[in-house]
Structure 1
Amino acid sequence: MSSSGAKPVVIEITERQMLGNLKETRAMLQPLLDFGFELAVDDFGSGYSSFLYLLDLPVKYLKIEMELVQRASADPKARAMVESIQAMSRKLGIRTIAEGIETPGTRDLMRDIGVDWGQGYLWGRPELE
């Protein structure tokens, strides 16, 4: 894929799915990763967090759990958690995505913290065709 000049396809897997059997997960994903796909961990911080898989899998993106993102404006503990996830991700070379951004205030806070991208209803809701 990388030789074609196309942007890589990102495989999104939840934190819970990754923690079941790390060896099996890696074996399942490896052919796709070898082909140039990239890996995103969804719902990071949702209660299943284990940092060890970040050492063993080539994770490119962490999608920060929506509840943490939404609570960060009013809850100093939630904000500290988002800041910690961001700082750790930066040191590991992993990009971050804040899920569930619905207000300009939350968008601005995530930007101030240094989160790389945002996702949520602020930019658009799902639509039926």
Structure 2
Amino acid sequence: MNDLLYEIEDLREKDRETGQPPSVVLKKLARALDEFATYIDNNGGAIVNYGERYRCGERISTGFVESAVNQVVAKRFVKKQQMRWTPRGAHMLLQVRTQVLNGELRASFQQWYPRFGALDQAPLAA
């Protein structure tokens, strides 16, 4: 992440040197990445790799995780939010997210749609 921040800063520096107006997008991206890097640095010891735990046969569900999920889902159900989820929609979102974390989403798609990914394996024409 630090490498990406350096790349962005280099681009912004080149803009300053050439007299181009500063890129608002690069400034916002740099700020967001910096905040994310700070979060990871401060909380790295508490971030759980659920995919690895699952592959090792360990439990991936804990009380604080369930509480966080419940808070996110409950917040989306409040009428004051821009987006409102149905119970089915929230359930489906959690199912997809779990499969993404466990690395199982592609296999599920291939089971549902046998031709899924067939173009990825087809030889390229010269």
Q: Give the TM interval when normalised to the shorter protein.
A: under 0.3
TM-score for both structures, normalised by structure 2:
0.24
Q: Which protein has the bigger strand share?
A: 1
| Larger relative contact order (Cα-Cα within 8 Å, sequence gap ≥ 6) | 1
TM-score for both structures, normalised by structure 1:
0.24
Q: Which protein has the bigger helix share?
A: 2
